[in-house]
Each structure stands twice: as structure tokens, then as C-alpha cells.
Amino acid sequence: MKLKKFRVTGFRSVTDSGWIDASDVTALIGENEAGKTNLLLPLWKLNPSGDGEINLLDDMPRSRYAEMREEPEKHDFIRCIFELTDAERDKAEKFGADRSKTETIEICRDFKGRYGIWFCDDSDFKVGEAYEIKEVSAIEEGEEAVEPDKGPSLFTYIKSWLPKFVYYSNYGNLDAQIYLPHVVENLSRDDLGGKEAAKARTLRVLFKLVNLSPEEVLELARATGVTERINQHGQRVSVEEKTEEQMQADDEQLRTRAALLQSASTKLTKAFKDWWKQGDYRFRLHADGNYFRIWVADDRRPEEIELEGRSTGLQWFLSFFLVFTYESEDTHDNAIVLLDEPGHSLHPLAQRDLSTFFDSLSKTHQIVFTTHSPFMIDADRLDRVRKVFVDGDGGTVASSNLAVSRGKNAEKGAGATYAVHSALNLSVAESLLLGCTPVIVEGPSDQHYLSAIKNILISKGRINPVAELVFPPSGGAKTAKIIAAILMGRDDALPFVLLDGDAAGKQAAKSLKDGLYQSSKDSVLTTDQFTGDMKASEIEDLLPIVLVIQVLDRLERRAGQDFEDFYETDKPIVPQIKAWAVDEGFELVSDWKIQLALGVKGKLLSNPDKHVDDTLLDRWVTLFERFSG
């Protein structure tokens, strides 16, 4: 199962969030008190990995608590749409479901804890009353028919397929000095407070990573060759003089402990180095009596310093690293990970590393996280971002439209959108300061398409750009000149420009070549140069047309005739889409090109081999080779 979208209703500050699209990594951005956490918590409570109990007093909106608590079964608080795998669809077919209608399934949960399950394209099919169809053996003459054992219903199977939701808000930063007797005690308790429980969880993972147990370290630490020791109350007490044999046995224990800790230190250092890119850190684990310490050194500060003496960011990242690479991988297979404000104490560059790590983690886990930091937003993947804000009625809502206002009179650039604008500004700044190669495009949909194409070509080894390619949108062909002048590099080199081949694009290209780009005409490109015989093309004509048509027909259900039956090959697709809408009597929404781009981009990146052939790859390579000069 893969989460495709979710909707929160009647939960704390959320009256109706609206449907929120989910991708491999989904970022919920919003101001403080916008209600971001109140979108994660109901997701968690759909199928929590631990804790996550429904609490009517805490979870119901206070304004409706008296009304809703009387009949909690009448109030769903979370609805999710999942995409089923082929194996799951095969199984559902054995229960009598029409396989052509089992692509997606909707699951909800109410405040009484009950679940509702139905297929999105076949709501009349009773999932709870469907049992596996079994062949009945032939009945001999004189025998009575025996009702076969029905076994579990399809409802039971689907609920077992539902991914666990893992929620993290406290990451349990490790202390420099750890008192082992307390560790042993806390790891066996289930009544710890939130902060202590999080720290105990991190310690459990740490000891698991380095193949040690706190009990073993504590036992080995009890051996000593001196006549005094420190008891658990910090007092010095005398011990009897030891024999030579006892001292040799103690020495063996101490050497064993030292070897184990050295091995553990090496393993932790290597594992962390493969993940953390902000420095070459070396860890040394040390045990002294009842105390366990973590020492840290790096190339810039070669002297060892206790972990607690290093930055809060390093402490957080080490704890986060331990929990996510070991605990979630081992105990929450195929879970959906919910992160509340991850990395808020990290340096901006470290936040970028964390954002990059999410890409790696998303290969095994879908991730939904909240943030208000522009450094946690990938300007190349704005399709992952959902804006969270308070609507005019005071409820929490979310939208994929990053320009949506908070109310009828609100400014569109206010609030959470500022983080997105900042992320885009950072992308522009990097193109100037960090040696990136900017390619100006007309709009955000072009940016989405080209970012996807770039990622696919790099992953297949078809291109290897010497500098990061970024695609700042100009807002239209007419303003490309202004953006080009702003983005002119420090060496006065003009950035590349890619325009549509339609009338507006051709006029803008001519204006640029006659003016600002008079001595750099080869840096102004149009899509017509890469679409063969097709003229007046747009960026959409460089994409797999079959995929574009499929996504469009799924997005736009108002038409009586599918666009697939309207489309004429070898002609630009965008004018045909506009003509189709007119013929069918409906008006395309203002951001239809962006919605289409997001849908196509998501499908492309999830399974490029399914949609892209060698001919199209070669065409893309030809385009991107022009960007390298």
C-alpha cells in the first residue's frame, strides 16, 4: 500500500483540511500555531506503531466536544486513499472484487476507533462481506452439500496491509555522560515520561548498533585492580586486596571491555560518516565504573570533547541518525514516518543534509514532515510541499497551491509562503554564489518538468553536469529578460533561457537575441529546436505524451469525452487541451498546467522506465547537452 492523499476532519483545530496529496516525501509548511501537528497526529492515529490512542477530550475540537462525545462513532477524523500493489489487487480479485476497480482504496477511522474501507472506483462492493472464493468439490450422489469455511474477510486482509504510522516529535538527544545503572533500569521500564522515554529509545538503538548491551558493559566495568571503588551513591569504599589470579582475571575483563568499546567506536564512526556530510567526526565510547561516556573529535577540532560539549545540532543529528537508520528500518518495515519539526536545532547546511537524507529514507518509507524552514524545502521538488494555514473561519487547512491566500483579504505572499519564496531565493543565490548553472524557464510547470528530466538523466548516467542545474521560472516569456539580467553571473556570463516555441516564446527569443543576448544568441533556446518537425511546441511536447494524456484525464473528470479521444498526434498538446475544454463546455482552472506537471512529474520519477523510451531519452540528452555550452 502507498499513501496517495489524506484528509483530516473534526480533529482539534482542523475542521476540514481538504484533501492533501502525499508523495514519497511530503513537507507541510506553515507558521507557528497554523496546526501542522494536528495534521500529523490523526494520520498517526489511523494505525499507530505504538501509543497513539484516541483521546476524545484531547482530540475532539473543544467547540464541539459536548456534542461529538455522545456519538463518537458518527465522526470520522481521518480519511486516507491508498494505492494498492499488484499483489494486493490480485488478492482482492480472489474475493470477488473487479480488478479494474481496485487501483485505489479509501480507509477512514472514527473517534470510536472503528474503520471503514471501500474501493474508490467501486464503493458498492462490500469489503466487509467479501470472502475468498473457493472451489466446491463435486458432490457425490446421496451426500449433503457442506458450506465451505469462509475464513477471514477481505476487510481483515486489507487492514493487515495498512502501513504502520511512526510519529516522532522528541528525538531523545544523547547526553555526554550516561549512568549505566539508570540505563539498565530505564530500558526495562514502560512508565517513563516523554523526554526520558525518547532518550532511553536512543540509547537502546546505540547499544544495538555497536553490538553491546549496557548490562555487559556495566558488568565488565565492575572489575578493577585497585583497593577502592566508587559505589552507586558516589562514595569511596574499601575493597579487599586481590590475589594475583583475581588481578589477572580483572585485567582480562578490562582488556575485553576496551576491545569491545574500541570496536564499537569504529563501527559508530564509520556508520555516521556514511551519512553525515558536515564534518569528519570520530567517536570514542568509554566506560569508567558505572559511567559510560561519548567523546567526539574531528579534523577541525582534533582534541576529544564530550558529546555534550559539542553543538546541539550534532547531538540531535547523532540521535536522529541512530533512531531512523536502525530502529525504524528494523522494527517498522514499510512504515510511514511522520516527523514533527525535524532538524529545528540544526545549522542551515545540516538541514540541507537532512532534506537530502529524506530522499534516501523514502526508498523504504514514505515521509511526511512539518517545517517552517526554507532550508528544509528542496526548490527542485516544490511538488512535495503543502501549505498549511488558518482559513477565514479559524480552521486549519492545507493546499498544494503555494500561492493560496489565508483568507479573502489575505496577502498571497504572507505566512508559510514566505518559506517557499525563501527556498526559491536560496536556489537563485546558489546559482550565483555556489557555481550552479541557471536555466531560465517561463513558468513553474516548466521547472517541474525539467527538474524531473534532469533527475532521470543523471540517475541513468546519461548526463553528468559539472555544476548543479537549476531552473528559475521567469513568470512568462515577457519577463525572461529581467530575470536574465538579475541572474547574470559574476563573470558576466548570461544564463541559458529555454522558451516555448509558440508565438509569445518566439517573440521573446527574438527580443533577447536582438538585445541583451546579442553576443550570446546560442544561450537562447526554444522547445521547437528539440521537437523535430513540430512547430509552436511547448515544454509539454517534450514529455511522454501518453503519460500526459493519462494524467490529464484523471485530473479532469468534468468532460464527457476523454482527451485521449480528442487528441491528434504530431500537434502541440497545450492548444489541443484548451480547445478540448471549450468543446466540452468547462473552464480550465488557473493553475491547471502546474497540477498537470505535478501529476506527470510524480509518475515519471516513480517509474521512469515505464514511461520513457530510448528515443525520448536521446532527445532529452540533446537538450541538456546544450545547457553545458
Same structural domain, 93 and 46:
yes
Give 476's contacts (C-beta < 8 A, 6+ positions apart): 442, 443, 504
pLDDT confidence band for 225 (50 / 70 / 90): very low
Choosing from 312, 330, 348, the residue where a domain stops is 330
| Contacts of 149 by beta carbon, 8 Å cutoff, 6+ apart | none
- The reply to whether 194 and 49 lie within a common domain is no
**CATH number of domain containing 86:** 3.40.50
The mean per-residue pLDDT over the stretch 165-190 comes to 75
Residue 626 lies in a domain: yes
Q: Domain for residue 47, yes or no?
A: yes
Residues 275 and 211 in one domain: yes
pLDDT at position 171 = 61
Please check whether residues 366 and 477 belong to one and the same domain.
Answer: no
Same domain as 460, residue 362: no
Pick the closest to residue 112 from 51, 48, 39, 53 (CA basis): 53
Structural domain range at position 564: 435-629
Q: Using CA atoms, how far apart are residues 340 and 34, in angstroms rounded to an integer?
A: 13
Residue 491 has pLDDT above 70, yes or no: no
Report which of residues 186 and 496 the model is more confident about.
496
Instruction: Look at residue 420 and tell me if it is in a domain.
Output: no
State whether 130 and 260 are in the same domain.
Answer: no
Evaluate whether residue 417 is within a structural domain: no
Q: Which of 170, 460, 176 has its CA nearest to residue 320? A: 170
Residue 380 lies in a domain: yes
* pLDDT of 317 above 60: yes
Stretch (H or E) spanning 260: helix 244-273
Q: What is the dihedral of CA 617, 619, 625, 629, to 10 degrees?
A: -160
Query: Would you say residue 237 has pLDDT above 80?
Result: no
Q: Do both 354 and 502 map to the same domain?
A: no
Domain match, 540 and 521 both: yes
Residues 445 and 514 grouped into a single domain: yes
Contacts of 586 (CB under 8 A, 6+ apart): 556, 558, 559
Query: Taking 70 as the threshold, does the pLDDT of residue 163 lie above it?
Result: yes
pLDDT digits (tens, 9 = 90+) for 584-623: 999 998 889 999 999 999 999 989 999 999 999 999 999 9
Lowest mean pLDDT among 158-167, 374-383, 420-429, 461-470: 420-429
Residue among 522, 528, 543 at smallest CA distance from 601: 543
Looking at the fold, whether 399 and 515 belong to one and the same domain comes out as no
Residues 313, 280: contact at Cβ < 8 Å? Answer: no
In a domain, 27, yes or no: yes
Domain boundary among 384, 404, 424: 404
Q: Which residues contact 334 (CB under 8 A, 6 or more apart)?
A: 163, 364, 365
Q: Confidence band (pLDDT; 50, 70, 90) for 278?
A: low
Q: Is 53 helix (H, G, I), strand (E, B) or coil?
A: coil
* Least confident residue range of 48-62, 105-119, 321-335, 360-374: 321-335
Measured CA to CA in angstroms, residue 572 lies from 135, 536, 543, 545, 567 at distances of: 53, 7, 11, 10, 10
Indicate if 147 and 189 belong to the same structural domain.
Answer: no
257 or 157: which leads in pLDDT: 157
Choose one of 356, 385, 404: the last residue of a domain: 404
Question: Is residue 271 domain-shared with residue 360, that is, in the same domain?
Answer: no
Q: Is the dihedral of CA 507, 468, 365, 314 positive or negative?
A: negative
Domain tally, the chain: 3
610 in a structural domain: yes
Q: Which pLDDT band holds residue 362 (cuts at 50, 70, 90)?
A: confident
Of the pLDDT bands very low, low, confident and very high (cuts 50, 70, 90), residue 407 is very low
- Please indicate, yes or no, if residue 429 is contained in any of the structural domains: no
